[in-house]
Chains A and B, each alone.
Chain A
Amino acid sequence: MTDGQSTAEAGHYGKEVRSDLHVSVEPRDGGGLELNLESRVQLYYGEAILAQTRQVLASLGVKHAKIAIHDEGALPFVIAARLEAAAKRAALAAGKNALPDPASPAAPPTARDRLRRSRLYLPGSEPKYFINAGLHGPDAIILDLEDSVHHAEKDAARILVRNALRALDFGACERMVRINQLPLGLQDLAEIIPETPDVVLVPKVERPEQVGEVDRVIHELKSRHGIDRPIWIMPILESATGVENAFAIAAVSPLVCSVTIGLEDYTADLGVAKTAEGRESLYARTRLVNAARAAGVQAIDSVFGDVGDMDGLRRWGQGSRALGFEGMGCIHPAQIRVIHHAFAPSPVEVEKALKIVAAFEEAQQRGLAVVSLGSKMIDPPVVERARKLVARARQMGELSPP
Chain B
Amino acid sequence: MLEGEDRARFEAVVLPHLDAAFNLARWLLRSRADAEDVTQDALLRAFRAFGSYRSGNARAWLLQIVRNTCFTWMRENRKREELSEFDENRMPQEGENPETLAIASHDRGQLVRALDTLPAGFREILVLRELEGCSYREIAEITERPIGTVMSALARARQQLRGALTQPAAKEARRGL
Q: Is A bound to B? A: no
